Amino acid sequence: MNSQLIYHILIDRFFPSGSEDKNGNFKGGTIRGIISHLDYIRELGMTGIMLTPFSHSAAYHGYHTVDLDEVDPHFGTWDDVGRLVAEVHSRRMTIVADFVANHCHSDSPIYKDGNHRDWFRRDTKGKVMTFAGIDCLPMFDTDNPQVRRYLTDKALRLCSAGFDAIRLDHATGPTYGFWKYLRREIKRRYPDVVLIGEVWGAMDFRPRYRLRYAVNRLLYGAQEARQLEYVNVLDGLLDFRYHELIIDAIHKKESLTKKGRLYGKIKRHFKRYPADFGLWLFLDNHDLNRIFFECGFDETAMDNAIAFTEQWDKTVLWFYGTEKRLANTKSIFDGTPYADERVRMSLTNN
């Protein structure tokens, strides 16, 4: 999947219909709405799309999963998903799903029925552990064989639906053993499906080899060291280290050319990974400041950052609305609750 341009869509905020539901903060974006805009996306030069999770969820963004068997009714149905996959492929484009294996929402029947107590991680006092300390997001025990089979079956359904790749949300939560199991089972039946992990920050991260991690952290920094732990575990990663490097260069107003310091840093960064390990590049996403904001609302600087990123033989993600220069006006990292809403605005025809 090298040299692809993938348009990253937050389903609920992509050309919403205007039908809002305050419960869960849904604004009205749907799978059918994406289908009706596929030609728009292709005309931008995109060769594929990546969706946020569409399973039944307690929140608009899809990461508070209630039921992995159901498509959230705010977004559509499995028939809509099938049609979207077919329409994308008919345009010779790629489609990527987003899969949450780390946790579910407390409204999930699996959590509520009381029959799956051993499916969830517990601390030394027997209390259920939760994602990011959020009480309503219990974390799966991915070393439990039943949990492994359950989650793998749900990922296999995405493969059978025709998705070409799967983004693995919060890959530092589940164990390495789980990811190896899931990858092995998927490759047995769908060898061409690509598994790309989100490995970002220290939360829930546990190195496979502590000495190697310590040396890599000393040599290259913490984010690079974390990413290197997933070589031979997954097919590739969203390259947060690349994002760190280029945002730092933008802030320092370094040259984004082949003669600049950044170019050499990036080349050395890429060489630390096997040639067949996918590093998917991006300038922003739903958890980061938008690139136009990071560039100080300088259109030339933003265009240069995009051109610099697209020169590499890598898959590149475009966050929806980048083409319209959507941007937050305040950083989402100022400690304000729900500040990420600042980068998750609705894309409309206006």
Banded pLDDT at 349 (limits 50, 70, 90): confident
pLDDT for res 131:
98
* Domain assignment of residue 142, yes or no: no
Check: CB of residue 18 under 8 Å from CB of residue 350.
no
Banded pLDDT at 22 (limits 50, 70, 90): confident
Choose among 194, 203, 208: nearest CA to 238.
194
Banded pLDDT at 1 (limits 50, 70, 90): low
DSSP 3-state percent helix, strand, coil across the chain (nearest 5) = 40, 15, 45
In this prediction, what percent of the chain has a pLDDT beyond 90? 95
Average pLDDT rounded to a whole number, residues 31-42: 98
pLDDT for res 24:
81
Residue 32 has pLDDT above 70, yes or no: yes
Residue 20 has pLDDT above 90, yes or no: no
- In tens, the pLDDT along 42-68 reads 999 999 999 999 999 999 999 999 999
Would you call 214 helix, strand, or coil by DSSP? helix
- Which amino acid, 189? R
Ramachandran bin of 71, using left for φ above 0, alpha for ψ from -120 to 50, beta for the remaining angles: beta
More confidently predicted of 7 and 19: 7
* Domain assignment of residue 267, yes or no: yes
Indicate which residues carry an active-site annotation. 169, 198
pLDDT for res 178:
98
* Domain assignment of residue 203, yes or no: yes
* Domain assignment of residue 89, yes or no: yes
- In tens, the pLDDT along 96-105 reads 999 999 999 9
Q: How far is CA 251 from the centre of its chain?
A: 24
Banded pLDDT at 259 (limits 50, 70, 90): confident
Residue 186 has pLDDT above 80, yes or no: yes
Residue 340 has pLDDT above 90, yes or no: yes
pLDDT for res 52:
98
- In tens, the pLDDT along 196-228 reads 999 999 999 999 999 999 999 999 999 999 999
Number of independent structural domains in the chain? 1
* Domain assignment of residue 232, yes or no: yes
Judge if pTM exceeds 0.95: yes
Give the integer Cα–Cα distance in Å for 313 and 310.
8
Q: For residue 93, give the CATH number of its domain.
A: 3.20.20.80
In this prediction, what percent of the chain has a pLDDT beyond 70? 99
Check: CB of residue 130 under 8 Å from CB of residue 139.
yes
Residue 222's CB is within 10 A of a number of other CB atoms, namely 16
Check: CB of residue 146 under 8 Å from CB of residue 154.
no
pLDDT for res 9:
98
* Domain of 37, in residue numbers: 5-101+149-343
Check: CB of residue 3 under 8 Å from CB of residue 315.
yes
Banded pLDDT at 21 (limits 50, 70, 90): confident
Give the integer Cα–Cα distance in Å for 166 and 200.
17
Residue 247 has pLDDT above 80, yes or no: yes
* Domain assignment of residue 140, yes or no: no
What six digits make up the tokens of 216?
């890599």
Average pLDDT rounded to a whole number, residues 257-267: 91
Mean pLDDT taken over the chain = 96
